[in-house]
Amino acid sequence: MSKTTLHYIYDPLCGWCYAASPLIEIADAHPNIELVLHGGGMLAGESRLHMNAQFREHIKQSDKRITAMTGQVFGDDYLKMLEEPDLVLDSAPPLQAILAAEKEQKALTMLRTLQHAHYVLGLHVNDPLVLAQLAQDIGLDEMQYQKNYAHFQGAALDEHIGYSRQLLTQSGASGFPTLLVEQPDHWSRIPLQNYLGDSEKWHRFLETLIAKNN
């Protein structure tokens, strides 16, 4: 049986991507699915988020909805971090770390670790020192990780984000997360929102999808 390729357009600081992470883990673990990650840079570059009261309240309300729908945990230390007066959320450094980990076939492991560090532990995942520690935590070689991290600074990261956003536009979607299934004549969008918090329904959907693609 040939593998079905799913393209996951995400951002490490996107709350709804955190909501969808259990579904993505299930898809990645399936022996007949190949998962390809595309970081969209939602809060990178000029889109870096300088926290203010309005954004903070919007994020808190979204987080409550996510917990109600999926059971995903937002830790007390994360909530404390949101209250920091000069907090800046920047997707670029964590995306670099994920791309560096991808060189060692650990992209999704790094994404999962980053999400836990941010949403549960309240760590500043735009800090290269924090990212380097997380890389060690998942078993990456320190020197090789630093080399790969540096490689994805600047133009290489911009190119990756640009391609991810191109996929997003071509799919007709406008936000994160977006999951696409690659088919011979076209790519189709999978309505992830229909499966949030329902792993059994998601398992059944994936089996049907794989059967159709073979």
Q: Using one digit for the tens of pLDDT, what is the confidence trace for 112-154?
A: 999 999 999 999 999 999 999 999 999 999 999 999 999 999 9
pLDDT at 53 over 80: yes
What's the pTM value of the predicted model, to 2 decimals?
0.96
User: pLDDT tens for residues 16-39?
Assistant: 999 999 999 999 999 999 999 999
pLDDT at 208 over 90: yes
Which token pair is 197?
Answer: 């918090």
The CATH number assigned to the domain holding 169 equals 3.40.30.10
Contact 203, 37 (CB under 8 A): no
Contact 93, 126 (CB under 8 A): yes
